[in-house]
A = this chain, B = another copy of it.
């Protein structure tokens, strides 16, 4: 408690005058008027980061897919559904901002066609759903002319650091935060997380702690890089 309070006091004003854009939660990709594809992201990590950024004095914009969390105070809360919606919101807010953190679990693929009517169960025992790749939101933000310092999350269930290092290069982002979603007690829908922050300087490990605590430490570290 005291440590957390001290942490919070040190964080005050480290982001004053800065604009931070954070994505959180899953996206939902419509199949038809009732069905969709989604994922188990709870939004907790992104919401905790938004709270920590606002505590540190930033104008904070939280662009969130459908989740059950209440937005933190002093945070601008933009609600979106699909990856396409999220991309549009991100490009609008990220240009000219100082820090962008992509903590949302954006669906990689969406159905190629959205049926206008509810699909009927056919007599066939199988059906195939054709999916097309969604836009890469973080790479799009990192490629902006006035790109902010851009941070990607890499939620992986195997070869976590290897995939994360690859993501740093491939998406041309400034930093990747890798977490192992196969480990019990951390990651998707958990209250705790453990991550490795990877940038061109090296790797910083954060062992398991609460998402709010981790968020404050990550924001403090990222504030030094701006």
Contact = CB atoms under 8 A, between A and B. Distances in A.
The range of chain A's interface size is 35 or more
A50 B120 CA distance: 28
Contacts of A129: 128-129, 131
Contact of A36 (B40, B68, B119): B40
Contact of A132 (B109, B126, B155): B126
Interface of A: 31, 33-41, 68, 105, 107-109, 112, 117-121, 124-133, 155-158, 163, 181-182, 188
Contacts of A182: 33, 117
Contacts of A109: 121, 126-127
A131 B121 contact: no
Given A36-B38, A36-B39, A157-B33, A126 B121 contact: no
Contact of A112 (B33, B120, B126, B181): B126
A38 B105 CA distance: 16
